[in-house]
Amino acid sequence: MFTLALLVASIVVVVSPLPSASVYKLKERIPNPRDWVQLHRAPVDYILPLRIALPQIKFGELERHLYEVSNPGHQRYGAHLSKEEVERLIAPHPESLAVINKWLTSHGLDEKDLQRSPAQDWVTIHVPIGLAEEMLDTKFHTWKHVVHGDVVVGTTSYSLPEDVHAHVELVQPTTYFARPRALRTTLRFTEDTASAAVNKDTSAGRITIPGSEVSVDASCNTTITVACLKELYNAVGFGASSHNGNILGITGYLEQFANFEDLQLFYADQVPAAVNTSFTVSLINGGGNNQSSTEAGAEADLDVQFGLGLTFPTPGIFWSTGGRPPFTPDAITTGDTNEPYLDWLSFVLRQDNVPQTISTSYADDEQTVPESYARRVCAEFAQLGARGSTLLFGSGDGGVGDGNPDPATQNCFANDGTNRTRFIPLFPASCPFITSVGGTVNIPEVAVSFSGGGFSNYFQRPSYQEVAISEYLDSLPDGTYEGLFNRSGRGIPDVAAQADRFRIFLSGRPVSIGGTSAATPTFAGIISLLNSARLSKGLPSLGFINPLLYSDHANTTFNDITVGNNPGCGTKGFNATAGWDPVTGFGTPNFGKLLRIVAP
């Protein structure tokens, strides 16, 4: 964009049309974001970290590889791609690189000012907002969230020069106003404050699960422990390896710190053999590792304690990723963004080796995430799947609503300016290249009422879901929730696990906690145990598991949940039913049956 002085000079001196590079074309526009109020122009000298995504011209080929190596019926099953092979498939066209380089140079930026991803499909620059406004023909403002008070820098539209337009997929942070949050519905402090072991009421006996060889201690109906989950999901007696290369990865965002001392209390309480063992912490984008007991994060403690408790002695890594509001207008430093997934992905995809199983319990309403951003981040997840990692995300804690566990305050309106009532799926749970985990409760299991579920408005139904979802939709009475959900969208969730009454230790005290944030590390733990079995037999990791889950010989290895529903948006939500449903997916895992399939 020309400054006023240049514009005046061009009017006086130049009589021919402006050069094509100065003709801007709209790249993205969003409605004013719901619950955000525009305050004032952002300071022009505030430094903004702009990420520029170049088109991945061979992504379709990467997707083909992903499905072939993830399909148990394909001859290439398990032949995961290397880091270098993936990077060759996502590399931009040389012409795109040349055009982007020329554009950046025209604004005074040279190679030393650029940070490139290994495949060169991302370019990051740190520029003053004044220069960003010139490059994107836009105006940045500060915006404040009316409920939570977060203040961020953003814009509702931006443009690019016509000759650059086709060579850029997106630029962020620009139109990103989402507020990623931990998926947690309940946090209840128990009466006992000591680290005494769980008291089991042996007089209550055991509960036999109908239709299976499984029985569970009756105390598990009030308190979920590692022992409960191993009994319920038929994993008792399996010994994971500590030296076959298997690793469990757990993501942490929003200043959620996993506390070492809390883990030791948890181990003493539930996994005595693991006492004095720990996990690795990796800091990303200014992430912290504050070990003060007052800074322990309930979400981080839950994920680490149950994820590692289930998989002991499998090594674990906890990624602490920084980046969140608030904006500080008087600090002329790199802007603090609210895009944790890109920060984490940028780091992890650079690593030569990544964990075989990765658990994430954070999400946001899909509609608050710009669609271009959601699609590109989803494509980045596909890279990890192609390299042999299983990615698991919680499906949400608001039923069919907006992730808010309190139905009375749910916001179920489309964010497109129409104010239509709509069910609100969550992202990244809606990405077709990850595995989404819903929730159950009680023994025998029923769907927990807050289990997030529904259908994506961004992503079409993937081929692996076609049969299962078509059968479910055909079973619905005509007109069910007409107009409230996208019948052709990717279905959520894929599977489920227990999601309430989990006993963890937080700041030195035992507490009871729940949410699909509990279900996700639980299911991740089961997958990690399966990976351990495979690696010990010389087999590759499972990688992207959805084609396996939806195959005829695998979906029968789940405990089908047929009772319960997930209310929200003033409705009863969807019902759990035989087969796949948008409350619990195919149900909860039977490790023993899965083991016979994936590691015979």
Annotated catalytic residue 552: no
Query: DSSP of 241-296, one letter per residue?
Result: -SSSS--EEEEE-TT-B--HHHHHHHHHHH-GGGTT---EEEEETT------GGGB
Residue carrying structure tokens 């499906």: 395
Q: How far apart are CA 488 and CA 439, in angstroms?
A: 23
Query: Peptide bond before 428: cis, by omega within 30 degrees of 0?
Result: yes
* Contact (Cβ atoms closer than 8 angstroms) between residue 393 and residue 516: no
Which of these is catalytic: 320, 456, 517, 532?
Answer: 517
Residue of 171, 87, 90 whose CA lies nearest to 125: 171
Query: DSSP of 77-135, one letter per residue?
Result: TT-PPPHHHHHHHHPPPHHHHHHHHHHHHHTT--GGGEEE-TTS-EEEEEEEHHHHHHH
* Contact (Cβ atoms closer than 8 angstroms) between residue 145 and residue 35: yes
Which of these is catalytic: 63, 133, 137, 299?
Answer: 299
- Tell me the residue ranges of DSSP E strands in 285-394: 316-321, 357-360, 362-365, 390-394
Annotated catalytic residue 445: no
Quick one: how far is CA 336 from the chain centroid? Answer: 20
Give, to the nearest 10 degrees, the angle between helix 298-311 and helix 516-536: 30
Residue 492 φ/ψ region, left for φ over 0, alpha for ψ in the -120 to 50 degree band, beta for the rest: beta
* Contact (Cβ atoms closer than 8 angstroms) between residue 554 and residue 597: yes
The CA distances from residue 583 to 41, 425, 490, 580, in Å, are 43, 12, 13, 9
Rg (the chain; Cα; Å): 25
Residue carrying structure tokens 């796949």: 580
Annotated catalytic residue 121: no
* Contact (Cβ atoms closer than 8 angstroms) between residue 387 and residue 354: yes
Quick one: how far is CA 499 from the chain centroid? Answer: 17
Alpha helices in 124-202 (DSSP H): 129-136, 162-165
Catalytic residue set = 299, 303, 517
